Amino acid sequence: METKRSRRIRHSRQDWQGFVSEFLTSGQDCKSFCRDKGLNPSRLIRWQGVFRNEISPAISQMRKR
């Protein structure tokens, strides 16, 4: 398993939206999720903030409980 890649992958906004929703539904903590996916945790948190305002009410209802 390679951790360092010579070329950084540029994820599109849509990619990040997928990661964020997958992260929210997975229930994993940020660090382990990002390690599994090879993502930068701080970027995931930032994108999560971006999408939190746009995510359907169903998910935010789920999160509040």
List, for residues 37-52, the tens digit of each pLDDT value. 999 999 999 998 888 7
DSSP symbols for the chain: -----SSPPPPPHHHHHHHHHHHHHH---HHHHHHHHT--HHHHHHHHHHHHTTS-HHHHHHHH-
pTM above 0.75, yes or no: no
List, for residues 12-38, the tens digit of each pLDDT value. 999 999 999 999 899 899 899 999 999
